[in-house]
Structure 1
Amino acid sequence: MNISFTLSPSAQDIETIYAGLGEFNRKFTPEIDDEAFGLFVRDHSGNVLGGLTGFIYVTTLQIRFLWLSEDLRAKGIGSELMNLVELECKKRNIPNIAVDTYTFQAPKFYESHGFQEIGRYRDYQVKGVDKIFYHKSLG
């Protein structure tokens, strides 16, 4: 047996670990068939000015990215995106929304939309910056 630390591992090696973990997990959870989604704010020419993307899992919608161009911020568009995500969850009977953010990004925004902090990495990537994990139950 040989154990080695590898920078920039091959996609095949990563897939081997991912597949092995998936096989183990299937003993305890249903096979998770994630479905990507996106809400996009576009100008009249179809250019993306912002939006929200993520994945839908069995009981959870995971927000991956939320970004709005500088011109669109503080105009209620982020709140509109969050409302649309919640409506989609209700239509699909998805009881949970999860998201993570950094202390310099949008923690107050998510808290104002009813998200509860459930975890935190302190000094994540940079000293003085925390990564915060949030959850919102719709049930």
Structure 2
Amino acid sequence: MASPGTTTITPTSAPDHSPAANCEQRRALIRDVLERIGDKWSVVVICQLGHGTRRFNELRRQSDPITQRMLSATLRGLERDGLVTRTVHDSKPPRVDYTLTPRGLSLLDVVRGLASWAEGNVTDILASRALFDGR
């Protein structure tokens, strides 16, 4: 029993480094990454940046009908994951450029492949949806 005026410290449990915990952490990270790159606006932005460095408003015009808020959030997420670099130039008015990092470039072919597949299959997918919905 602790004497008056002393604090009892309860040890916290150590982090779980078991193979099962590591596997679950990896699965969670993979789901998180796939959610990021599977988002429709991330795919659009990555494809646009595949053509080279773009300014914010240029990306917004090329990605219509994306909102300014959604583009900002998408770019922040891509930057956080190391897929996009944001460069602020010291000019009047300030200029901000976005470009794909080497990691982003390594993802570009995959994203373009998904976009191409979707474009090539859209007619059949719409027909399948109509058949399904007609049941």
TM surpasses 0.5: no
- Normalising by structure 1, we get a TM-score of 0.25
Q: Which has the higher contact order (CA 8 A, sep 6+)?
A: 2
Structure with the bigger percentage of strand: 1
- Structure with a larger share of its residues in helix: 2
TM-score normalised according to structure 2 size: 0.26
